[in-house]
Every structure is written in C-alpha cells, then in structure tokens.
Structure 1
Amino acid sequence: VYVYIQFHVLLHNYYLLELVILSFGVIFDGLDVGVAYLPVRDERRIAVQRTLNKRMERIVTWHNSVFKSIAKISKIQGAPLVYQVMFSSAAVCLMMYQIADKLDNGVVDILFIMLFSAATIQLWVPCHLGTMLRNKAFEVADACWHCGWHETLLGRLLKTDIMIVMVRAQQPLSIKFTGLPNLSLETFSSKMSSAYSLFNMLRQYN
C-alpha cells in the first residue's frame, strides 16, 4: 500500500509538469500579435495582456504546486524512505545469499525469490519516479524557452514572467531528507551494487 500510494502521488506530480510543458506550447495561440504595437492602455492590448497573464498564472500555479507537493512528500515520507534506502543493500544481499545457497543444494526457494523481487521493486519505484520528476522538471525550462516568446511580438508582454519561470525551473526537483541522497536511479544503482558486493563477499567466505 505504501509503495502504491507513493507511486500515484509522484506520478500525479509528473503529469502536472507535463501539463505545464504542454501549456507553454500553446500560450500564444489564438491571440492577435498586432496588439503589441498598440498603446499600453489600449483595450485590445489590455484584453490580450489579461489572457496571457491568466495563462501564465495557471502555469505558475501548477509548477509551484509540484514543488510544494514534493516538499510535503519529503517531510512526511522522508523518514520511511531513509530507512528503506539505507537498509535495502543488506536486505537484498541476504535474500540473494539465501536464494543462491538453496540453489547450490538443488532447491528453488520461491518465497525468497518473491521477497527479493518485492524488495527490489520497492526500491526501484521511488528511485525511478524521482529520476522522471527531476528530468521532467528540467524540461519545463526548455519548454519555456522554446515556446516562441522570442519569435513573437507578444513575447514582450510576458518577457519578465518567462524569465522568472525559467530561473525557477533550473532548481532541481528531488525528494530530500536528512540522511537520504537524492532519490534517483543513481541511488538505486548504488544500492544494488553495494548489495552485490556484499553478496560476493559472503559467498567467498562460505
């Protein structure tokens, strides 16, 4: 249940970032470019400015909600994640050793194979989603730059806002907690490598 909830919460934030990226792709669609030449107080220019502001406000709201959500996840689930990541190498190592020991005796230990698979998946899921979120968050800055703001006159109306979002999007998005490295596939790879090293050491001294 814990991994299931964690999976859906992180995936929800991932798709929110995807919505942000898609919104940047259509931020200038359907608007009259010619209003950029009109006086600042012209009604048509004001109407377009309001439309752009609403679109940007929606993007910023979604973007900030992801950062707030990840901060809450780090605060609430940080301690269990630290425990899960710190002891995963030892647990996986012992399960591998038990499986290998039984195989040496010609016995396939189904129970420990299932436990090993579950422990690996339980570690892989948050690490994989953490990497997905990190990469998707950096894609927001790219989407912001490639939305065409520098190719249309309407970009003048949102230049400052776009620059602020781009700077904000450069901030890494990751689940952090005291004693927990950035939750990513690099963390998963490191823990599994440690487990395999411990496993080899135990096998040598067997």
Structure 2
Amino acid sequence: MDIIMIGLDELFDGLDASVVALPRDDLRRGAVQKELNDRIGRIVKWHRSIFDSVDTISSVYGPTLVYQVMFSSIVICLMAYQVSEQLSAGKFDYLFGVLTFGACVQLWIPCYIGTLMRTKGEAIGDSCFYCGWHMTPLALMVRQDLAIFIMRAQQPVAIKFTGLPELQLETFSSIMSTAYSYFNMLRQYN
C-alpha cells in the first residue's frame, strides 16, 4: 500500500504542465496524457491487487479464523481460570501460563494486521486527495480518474468471511472483554 501512496505522490512529477493549454491533438499533449494514464493505470492495478490478495487470504484463512474468533474467549477464559486456581494454591503452572499468553497473541496478531490494513486503506484515499492535483493544471487531464480512484479507495480493506467480524483491534478487545466476563463468572461460582 505504501507503493500506491508513493506512486500518487509522484503522479505529476517530471511532466510538462504547459501542455494543458495545447490543442487535444497535439503530440506533446498526447504524450503527457499517455504518461499520466500509464501512471494512474499502474496505481489502479496495484490497488486492485490488494483487494485480490485480501480475498485470497480470506478464502484460505477465513474458516480457521472464524473458529478461532468464535472460541477464543472461552479458551482464554478456561486457561486463565486454571492459572488463577494454581496461583491460589501457591503454585504456578508455566505450561498454562505460556498457553494463555500464546492464545492471546494468536488472536491479537490477525486483529492487529486487520487494523493495519484498514488504516493503510483509508490512507490511500487521503493520499490520492492530497497528491497535489490542486497545484497543477495537469489535474484537468485526469480529474475523473482521480475522483473514481478516491471513491474506490473508500471501500474498506478487510479480511471478510461468513460469520467472521472484521478483524480489528476492536474485535480483539471485545473478545478479551468477553473472556474476562466469563472468567469472573467462573471465579464467583467457585
């Protein structure tokens, strides 16, 4: 996604802005128009490849992520309960301590990556809007392309699968909150 933002920042670099005043059939204007179209075409191709990659990741890892997200709160709750019971007895079970930490990290990683993807995806639209189109007359030649790209960049980049909430840090927080609620309930009834 950083490559897209770099491409947007360099969209108008090295191009002669004076060709905008030339007639449409002028060769110099045609060459600049072709170069602008090629640059925007590459950016759109890169952007589309992000969505294709995320769709592939969703189809491959989606089913396992659904089960992981669905059952993580119960698993984390039970492991934390085991650790707390051992601590109450004056012992510490390293195995359950490491497993509890590992289960939390295993859930946190895809949620963190989902948040990074969402943030970078939003930044692409902002990068397109602030690419300098307002400071060059060349924007007249590609303003429709830029408007369409900005609208396309509004679509969130997220791992999606049936039954799976969007994987974000908010999802992680919600699951951990649920696990803590279950943990407190178990501690109260013991």
**Do residues 35 (structure 1) and 19 (structure 2) align?**
yes
**1: distance between equivalents of 2:123 and 2:25?**
35
**1: distance between equivalents of 2:59 and 2:49?**
15
Partner of 1:64: 48
Partner of 1:174: 158
Deviation at 1:35, TM superposition (A): 0.7
Deviation at 1:177, TM superposition (A): 1.0
Partner of 1:51: 35
Per-residue deviation, residues 19-70 of structure 1 (Å, max 9, x unmatched): 1111111110111110111111111111111111111111101100001111
Pairwise mapping of residues 183-194 of structure 1 onto structure 2 (< 5 A)?
183-194=167-178
**1: distance between equivalents of 2:21 and 2:109?**
52
Secondary structure of 2:41's counterpart equals: helix
**2: distance between equivalents of 1:117 and 1:197?**
18
Structure 2 portions without partners, runs of 5+: none
Per-residue deviation, residues 75-121 of structure 1 (Å, max 9, x unmatched): 22111000000000000001100110001111111101111111111
**Do residues 88 (structure 1) and 72 (structure 2) align?**
yes
Identity, % of aligned pairs? 53
**2: distance between equivalents of 1:88 and 1:109?**
20
Partner of 1:98: 82
Counterpart pick for 1:112 among 90, 93, 96: 96
**Do residues 139 (structure 1) and 123 (structure 2) align?**
yes
Deviation at 1:151, TM superposition (A): 2.1
Partner of 1:20: 4
**2: distance between equivalents of 1:108 and 1:53?**
64
TM-score by length of 2: 0.98
Structure 1 portions without partners, runs of 5+: 1-16
Deviation at 1:188, TM superposition (A): 0.4
Partner of 1:126: 110
**1: distance between equivalents of 2:128 and 2:102?**
39
Partner of 2:148: 164
Runs of 4+ in 1 over 2 A off after TM superposition: none
